[in-house]
């Protein structure tokens, strides 16, 4: 039986975080996380309880930590840093934002490294082996829609990174869904049983909360999915749900612009993007009702 | 404008129903091309060509009537493509 974070009791988890670190696997990547900060332990306990836990001798892709920058900062206007391989690439943040900072740092590791995949800034979910890719500019409502779909039978592959491998399959990460500001209440109302991590207040994105992925999303973390739809959602208050087919050439350009490493991969990136867009139907979705939007996706899925 | 035009770096094309996407290996840039631009690249596939020859071949390939307007349009397009380093004048 696989060991998960939930197999550690509260004391063990905190001791590991303070000493050897917790090695957890998210899809193909292993993070070693260390932190003396209580809110980090709470967040991992709540949101990552079903994630595979690896032994101290396992290979680590990303060695990360959340810790105070220097001695006095522990008491004087306490702040924390995100460390990657003992370097702090970002400015310090208030200690209260520790868990959001960890999540952003973990995302940064994948955005910056992991170039064996074509990486797109998009939420991605799966049903029936078919992947729905939702790129979207910040504020378009993709994370809200992603969370709602996750609670209505779609398997979460990732809220932030769509990773495409060399065989044109989507590689799941299954990490928590990030919600901001109004979306937190919207999803709390939409799914009363949703499990939320620590709330980070007054961040540069506003208030931020992360949602625990559904059990299915973690249990099937190694099951890749075939990309079938690229849908760019846009939340427009009071609008009717409208799904419009868009050209593959426009989709190619917009998805390439939202890729973290399309340019870096050069000719290989062009080939991978060509195959990806070829395999997908491409749409834009405007919506204001989550229920209506979900019905639209259900119809799309049933149409294939 | 110089007398001849050529494609200096390897390019890769992906054609969809309405437009063609080009990846330029020299600059690493990706562009969306119209049919006229794709036709120019197809005609320049193997060698440098004199501009007036190229314009005549584009007109023939696309079944356009040769005219000053058409010639000006293709020349302007070639300038745009030069600015993007897709073609080079020699």
Query: Can you give the pTM of this predicted structure?
Result: 0.93
Residue A243 has pLDDT above 90, yes or no: yes
What confidence score (pLDDT) does residue B17 get? Answer: 84
CB A203 within 8 A of CB A257: no
B12, B16, B30 ranked by CB distance to A248: nearest:
B16
Inform me whether the C-beta atom of residue A245 falls under 8 Å from chain B C-beta atoms. no
Residue A281, min C-alpha distance to chain B (Å)? 13
SS3 B85: coil
- CA dihedral sign of residues A113, A117, A123, A126: negative
Check if the interface score ipTM surpasses 0.85.
yes
Residue B15, min C-alpha distance to chain A (Å)? 8
Report CB contact under 8 Å: B20, A263.
no
Residue to test with chain A: of B11, B12, B19, B23, most A Cβ within 10 A: B23
Inform me whether the C-beta atom of residue B35 falls under 8 Å from chain A C-beta atoms. no
Enter the tokens of residue A200. 């980070």
Residue to test with chain B: of A248, A259, A273, most B Cβ within 10 A: A248
Residue B85, min C-alpha distance to chain A (Å)? 16
pLDDT digits (tens, 9 = 90+) for A286-295: 999 999 999 9
Mean pLDDT of the region A41-65 = 95
Residue A38 has pLDDT above 90, yes or no: yes
Residue A259 has pLDDT above 60, yes or no: yes
In terms of C-beta density within 10 A (0-12 exposed, 13-18 middle, 19 or more buried), how is residue A221 classed? buried
Q: B50 φ, ψ to 5°?
A: -65, 140
- Strand pairing class (A29-34; A62-67): parallel
Residue A77 has pLDDT above 80, yes or no: no
Residue A11, min C-alpha distance to chain B (Å)? 52
Q: Which residues of A touch B32 (CB under 8 A)?
A: 249-250, 253
Q: Which residues of B touch A266 (CB under 8 A)?
A: 25, 28
**Cα(B33)–Cα(B40) distance, integer angstroms:** 11
Q: Which of residues 50-109 of A touch B (CB under 8 A)?
A: none
CB A144 within 8 A of CB A165: no
pLDDT digits (tens, 9 = 90+) for A111-170: 999 999 999 999 999 999 999 999 988 888 899 999 999 999 999 999 999 999 999 999
DSSP states along chain A: ---BGGGS-HHHHHHHHHTT-EEEEETTEEEEEE---HHHHHHHHHHSTTSBEE-TTS--SEEEEEE-SSGGGGTSS-EEEEEETTB--S--EEGGGHHHHHHHHHHHHHHHS-TTSEEEEEEEEEETTEEEEEE--TTSSHHHHHHHHHTTTPEEEESSEEEE-TTS-EEP--PPEEEETHHHHHHHHH-TT--B-PPEEEETTEEEEEEPPPHHHHHTTT--BEEEEEEEEEE-TTPPPEEEE--HHHHHHHHHHTBSSHHHHTHHHHHHHHHHHHT-EEEEEEES-HHHHHHHHHHHHHH-
Cα distances from A245 to residues A300, A303, B68, in angstroms, run 12, 14, 38
Residue A70 has pLDDT above 70, yes or no: no
Inform me whether the C-beta atom of residue B25 falls under 8 Å from chain A C-beta atoms. yes
């Amino acid at each position: 039986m696989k060991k998960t974070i939930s197999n550690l009791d509260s004391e063990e988890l905190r001791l590991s975080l303070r000493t050897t670190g917790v090695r957890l696997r998210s899809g193909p990547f292993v993070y070693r996380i260390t932190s003396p900060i209580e809110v980090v332990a709470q967040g991992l306990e709540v949101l990552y309880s079903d994630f595979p836990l690896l032994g101290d001798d396992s290979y680590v892709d990303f060695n990360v930590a959340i810790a105070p920058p220097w001695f006095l900062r522990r008491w004087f206007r306490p702040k924390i840093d995100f460390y990657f391989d003992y370097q702090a690439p970002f400015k310090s943040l208030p200690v209260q934002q520790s868990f959001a900072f960890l999540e952003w740092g973990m995302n940064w590791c994948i955005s910056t490294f992991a170039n064996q995949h074509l990486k797109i800034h998009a939420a991605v979910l799966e049903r029936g082996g078919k992947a729905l890719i939702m790129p979207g500019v910040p504020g378009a409502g993709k994370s809200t829609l992603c969370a709602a779909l996750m609670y209505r039978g779609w398997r979460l592959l990732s809220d932030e990174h769509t990773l495409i491998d060399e065989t044109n399959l989507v590689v799941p990460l299954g990490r928590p869904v990030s919600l901001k500001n109004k979306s937190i209440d919207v999803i709390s109302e939409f799914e009363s049983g949703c499990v939320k991590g620590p709330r980070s207040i007054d961040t540069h994105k506003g208030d931020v909360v992360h949602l625990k992925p559904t059990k299915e999303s973690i249990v099937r973390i190694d099951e890749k999915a075939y990309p079938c739809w690229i849908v760019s959602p846009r939340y427009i208050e009071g609008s009717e749900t409208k799904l419009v087919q868009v050209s593959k050439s426009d989709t190619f350009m917009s998805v390439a612009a939202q890729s973290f490493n399309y340019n870096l991969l050069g000719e290989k990136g062009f080939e991978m993007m060509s195959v990806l867009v070829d395999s997908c139907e491409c749409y834009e979705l405007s919506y204001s009702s989550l229920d209506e939007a979900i019905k639209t996706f259900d119809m799309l899925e049933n149409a294939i | 404008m110089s007398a001849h035009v050529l494609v200096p770096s390897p390019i890769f094309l992906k054609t969809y129903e309405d437009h063609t996407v080009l990846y330029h290996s020299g600059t690493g840039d990706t562009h969306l091309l119209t049919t006229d631009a794709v036709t120019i690249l197809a005609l320049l596939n193997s060698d440098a060509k004199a501009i007036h020859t190229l314009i005549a071949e584009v007109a023939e390939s696309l079944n356009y009537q040769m005219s000053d307007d058409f010639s000006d349009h293709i020349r302007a397009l070639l300038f745009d493509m030069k600015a993007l380093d897709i073609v080079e004048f020699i």
